[in-house]
Amino acid sequence: AAGVIQSPRHLIKEKRETATLKCYPIPRHDTVYWYQQGPGQDPQFLISFYEKMQSDKGSIPDRFSAQQFSDYHSELNMSSLELGDSALYFCASRGLAEQETQYFGPGTRLLVL
């Protein structure tokens, strides 16, 4: 079965640089979520999109923005990167038939130096 695809899988950036993370949801899933997981922590919700519209917003810094495109893939744009942005970034998707189950991608491991 198709799963959530995230790219890149690993990313190394310098402070103050920008990064773009991409997410391709499971086919026919209409909701995409972004989570950030710091070392030894649980995933923290950043933002979600339903049918290409922002549906909920969590603790996402103003330096970050995201959108969902017409093909339902989503991108998380991160600017003015800080050391504290180093984390594992997950994308998850959900379909209407899934009874609220979110399926996660493999994550993008971002390291800011």
CB of 61 to another protein, least distance (A): 17
**Where do contacts with another protein occur on this chain (CB under 8 A)?**
31, 33, 35, 41-43, 45, 48, 50, 55-56, 58, 88, 90, 92, 94, 99-107, 109
CB of 27 to another protein, least distance (A): 17
The span from the CA of 87 to the CA of 37, in Å, is 6
The span from the CA of 72 to the CA of 20, in Å, is 16
**CB of 44 or CB of 79, closer to another protein:** 44
CB of 46 to another protein, least distance (A): 9
**CB of 94 or CB of 112, closer to another protein:** 94
The span from the CA of 59 to the CA of 44, in Å, is 8
Could you give the C-alpha distances from 95 to 26, 28, 79, 82, in angstroms and in order? 8, 7, 30, 34
